[in-house]
A and B are shown apart, each in its own frame.
Chain A
């Protein structure tokens, strides 16, 4: 190789070597891609196997399902991603893999959530506690249907995100609620709803004493919430009481005692 290429052939030779390098690079890249592809397909088939063998567990065992979802998010895949534009290819693979097991579970649940929200909107103004929502979903299910946890409900609501912002999770105090009307709660409204959680109801004087609000402020907030349909008024108490419709669920125990 010490010989200097001085003749015309040298041009040919350099062209030849660069071509050889290029082809070699190509083949390297190909094998690399092939190796990756096989790895991916192995991974896919393993996942498929896993999803298939454990589909029943995933559907029926809430804690297993939560673990599975956690594992998926740990390795950077969202089992629920359905139509995100970014990873269209990979997400459709997921839908394909888990189509009949996990994805459907949450989509079915999401449909039930939407139904319950719609059916109860009249009585609760479009704000329903996750706990209550779960109870209603469970009541509507057939005997032997897999159990649903609050975590599942929250995840199912997450799947509704692509449909716009009409369904979302809001926290009032430390209780999660599902909001199915496009309405933001003001700080005062949240404060009242949080206070309601304690006894199931509030009165104007309770707000004055406990939140140190003025009477007009307390009255305004309560009027607002009544107007939204998020509270029910009981005029037969000594002082008018304003009840959370969520307490209709547990009233049997608490209200009669």
Chain B
């Protein structure tokens, strides 16, 4: 722009941004501060703003004492399996929909896209019934198996959009060189689409890591809990677990758990902020 902006306007914009950002960060700061306090400090009314001495052992307490490492490993395992299944089935499906001319292809793709509108509440009851009949309740199969059958339709959509920007001549040339479709997909197309694949991996991780609905329905055995269910379970049984009095929730430990659960998401976000933003932007493109 050729006209210069008045200086006071820039100051106002920055001031508003700082104020809003403080509101955004305050709950997280309070979470971390609380996680470093002692139980007596929590029970004092009012609790001190800062811990007298940071209680780093709270992290060891929840990790080992309340077997939170187990929930963490469960969540990690489920997320890893879901991500692997998503990449291994969504990439081929996106490739097939991007490059092959098959009759009724658009109809099939439209059908897939329609599932984005289908609420989980509609499918969950028959699926629960089926998984229960197979004795798969309290296993990770109900959480993981859909991902191994291309369950991430948004991922297929995003990958197909990206694959289509690769010039067809590349594919044709590889075919003339005698490369199989399978190796063209994994050795040419996917390596050329790393940003899109990463976006899909990141969103798949988020959905799996943050999911409360499905683990709540399929996991009823404490040893199988993932982090979100584990956290709520801890709160429900906190008095028993910590030997506190009725109504005295050990919020310092709850906040420790919350911090442990949130930390991987924040770290991932710091390294891959652009992928997050591009993924969201891509969902709005067709709007």
A binds B: no
Which residues does B use to contact A, with CB under 8 Å?
none
